[in-house]
């Protein structure tokens, strides 16, 4: 996986590899592969919950948050802590809003998986706009999944990445956070 921060012209302002799939992601994959309804998953409040999707008969797991929603989807933060496989949330979330230190989060766009040579890629984008009245620096990005289990909703951090260097978003400017999932099959 890689990240890019793009300006209004689509120019790359920051990019790098993501080294930070976190425990919650692998807990979800493990539960899905086992068809388990007893596995414990850690949510973004650092609380364990029992994976019950297969018991309820109703199951949804997604990252496609609507505009203005920061409980799931791609989110940005100002935290500077190192990446850790036990991260369960972004260090310091840049919340939704138009007051000091907040972004307006747009909806997500997806570029469906594309095969090119021996690679396959899925691209997820989210537009953010700074209408806070001052500059805000993005130091980290994360992706949260929403897990609907019948009448209960939980949020799980899938990845968190501390950027190699911060990206300042000036008041009135917008940026696109782009996450690209790539699988490479080097054929022997």
Find, among 143, 146, 144, the residue nearest to 154 by Cα: 146
| Amino acid 184: pLDDT | 83
Q: CB atoms < 10 A from the CB of 159, how many?
A: 22
- What is the number of residues in the chain? 188
Does pLDDT of 92 surpass 70?
yes
Residue 70 has pLDDT above 80, yes or no: yes
Answer for the pair 75, 94: CB distance below 8 angstroms, yes or no: yes
pLDDT (mean) for 126-151: 93
Distance (Å, whole) CA 63 – CA 102: 21
Contact in structure between 107 and 140 (CB atoms under 8 Å)? no
Predicted structure pTM score: 0.91
Lowest-confidence segment of 82-86, 93-97, 103-107 by average pLDDT: 82-86
Residue 81 has a pLDDT of 93
pLDDT in tens, 75-89: 999 999 999 999 999
105 and 68 in contact (C-beta within 8 Å)?
Answer: yes
What pLDDT was estimated at residue 147? 85
More confident site: 35 or 174: 174
Residue 45 pLDDT grade (very low, low, confident, very high; cuts 50, 70, 90): very high
Give per-residue pLDDT as tens, 141-172.
999 999 887 678 889 999 999 999 999 999 99
Q: How confident is the model at residue 27 (pLDDT cuts 50, 70, 90)?
A: confident
Least confident of 3-7, 66-70, 111-115, 134-138: 111-115
């Amino acid at each position: 996986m890689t990240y890019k921060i793009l300006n209004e012209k689509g120019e790359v302002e920051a990019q790098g590899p993501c080294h930070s799939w976190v425990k919650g992601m692998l807990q979800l994959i493990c539960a899905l592969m086992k068809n388990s309804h007893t596995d414990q998953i850690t949510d973004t409040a650092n609380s364990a919950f029992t994976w019950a999707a297969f018991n309820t008969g109703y199951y949804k797991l997604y990252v496609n948050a609507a505009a203005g929603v920061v409980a799931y989807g791609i989110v940005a933060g100002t935290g500077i802590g190192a990446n850790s496989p036990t991260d369960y949330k972004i260090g310091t979330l840049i919340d939704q809003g138009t007051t000091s230190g907040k972004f307006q989060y747009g909806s997500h766009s997806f570029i469906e998986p594309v095969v090119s040579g021996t690679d396959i890629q899925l691209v997820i984008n989210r537009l953010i706009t700074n209408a806070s009245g001052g500059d805000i620096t993005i130091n980290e990005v994360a992706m949260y999944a929403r897990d609907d289990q019948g009448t209960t909703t939980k949020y799980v951090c899938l990845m968190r990445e501390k950027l190699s260097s911060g990206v300042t978003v000036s008041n009135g400017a917008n940026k696109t956070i782009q996450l690209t999932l790539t699988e490479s099959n080097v054929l022997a």
